[in-house]
Amino acid sequence: MTIAKGQKIPSVDIFVLEGGAPKAVSIDALFSGRRVAMFGVPGAFTRTCSASHLPGFANNADALKAAGIDEVLCLSTNDVFVLDAWARASDADGKVSMVGDGLLSFARAADLDVMLRDNGFGKRCRRFSMIVDDGVVTHFHTEKPGEFGETSAETLLDDLSGERSQLCRVGER
């Protein structure tokens, strides 16, 4: 079953680039005690991912942080060297943290893996976005292969804006 709102994020290892080398990191450590906006893409340097998905999060990183997000993470099934190059080429370096799921550990555990045989990609991660608060998914969006919009940074900002609106209404009572 695909991960959903209210569920704990799968406890798996993913990879980051640290000191010029790949380092396995527990996803629990990345999310514990923090509010994180994470989005997943089928692949670095691919058309929609490079033209829309990553730039949207890079351009909105400050707005997400102003709305209470501690870190913005991009997860892809690429290795961390490719992700590092993609972040630098996309002006996302320092705005979006890149995490590699080359073993599909997270994608499989969250039931977000998809076969993209028609594009010659093989097994990849389905496009998604989520907000995770101390390890629990509070907002979740996914899309069918080839589609983009629902998983954008703007959608997560709308989610966060809705939270603020609800807080204002509750405070008015």
Q: List residues with catalytic annotation.
A: 49
Among residues 41, 31, 25, the alpha carbon closest in space to that of 9 is found at 31
Cβ contacts of 94 within 8 Å, gap of 6 or more: none
How many CB atoms are located within 10 Å of the residue 24 CB? 12
Contacts of 172 (CB under 8 A, 6+ apart): none
Give yes or no for a contact between 75 and 82, defined as CB atoms under 8 angstroms apart. no
Radius of gyration of the chain from its Cα atoms, rounded to whole angstroms: 15
CA pair distance 84, 99, nearest whole angstrom? 9
86, 142, 107, 157: CA torsion to nearest 10: 60
Judge contact between 77 and 108, C-beta under 8 A. Answer: no
